[in-house]
Amino acid sequence: MAAIGKGLKRRGRLVMQAVSPPRRNLDAIPGPRQNTDTYTAPRAPRLVESPVFVLSSVRSGSTLLRVLLNSHSRIRAPHEMHLRTLHVHLSRDFTADAMKELQLDKEELEHVLWDRVLHLELTRSGKDVIVDKTPPNTLIWPRLRRCWPNARYIVLLRHPGAVVMSLTDRRTDPDHEAIRAEVLDYGEKLEEARQRLPNVQVIRYEDLTADPEKVTRGVCDHLGVPWEPGMLDYGSKDHGTFRPQLGDWSSTIRSGRIQTARTAAPHVELPPRLTELAKAWGYPEGP
């Protein structure tokens, strides 16, 4: 009987060790990985094969474009989703090995997560085209292309001087040098995307507000859906909450009406490179 009792106690200890989190001083915890070889996983199948991404700088009218597209019966354009900030954490050294056996790595796991988020939102909407218009996506467009080789893109431009002015007006105690640097970072990435991406359509915010029917007709052709006049009456549709970090929340967008784009004031100073980009994008000399 004593032997049986000892056996039961030992079994109990083993069960507790098996279900309890490991202590940090256990020898069983693997140390830092010694193998410096990297593994690149193949691309997993996607639930959404051809999503649409609006690439733009901040303060370039992307929320207006979003609500116009979201007013279409077949297009779901939700608030900014910030996919690039959704990360996967492989918390143990052996986790990466386990994922490798499944032909996955950290980047591809994140891609699978991003794809699932898009698919879930698309399924909930009952529509068949999804658009993500998060401006910082512009800064990671090469990764979006790796994730979705068949993605489609809309490059939305605005005169850099107007973007600088809008950011300056929006911020309390603005750092003018930092603002110009931020706009330049976006400008460089937009120019890269404009030149190098396939399946891209380039539009300008000023043209969108001046002739919204013409521009949205072109966007619909690019996306392979028929144009709908109800797109221009975005104020009659539900587009969710307008709030900071999810897009524009100003009185202009809340008005429900397309309003003429504000142009850059003559006094706005631009770095030479931003002036070059404005010219390359078809803007006349000067603001």
Question: Is the pLDDT reported for residue 8 higher than 80?
Answer: no
Q: Which residues in the chain belong to E strands, given as ranges?
A: 52-56, 75-76, 129-132, 152-157, 200-204
pLDDT score, position 27: 39
In whole angstroms, what is the distance from residue 109 CA to residue 65 CA?
A: 30
Between 107 and 5, the more confident residue is 107
pLDDT given for residue 264 in this prediction: 81
**Average pLDDT for 93-116:** 97
Q: Tell me what pLDDT residue 21 has.
A: 42
Residues 261/162, Cβ–Cβ less than 8 Å: yes
Cβ-Cβ contacts under 8 Å for 129 (sequence gap 6 or more): 52, 74, 75, 76, 223, 225
Dihedrals phi, psi of 13, to nearest 5 degrees: -65, -40
pLDDT given at position 207: 98
Strands 152-157 and 52-56: parallel
pLDDT given at position 170: 87
pLDDT band for position 93 (cuts 50, 70, 90): confident
Phi, psi of 240 (to 5 degrees): 80, -170
pLDDT at 5: 55
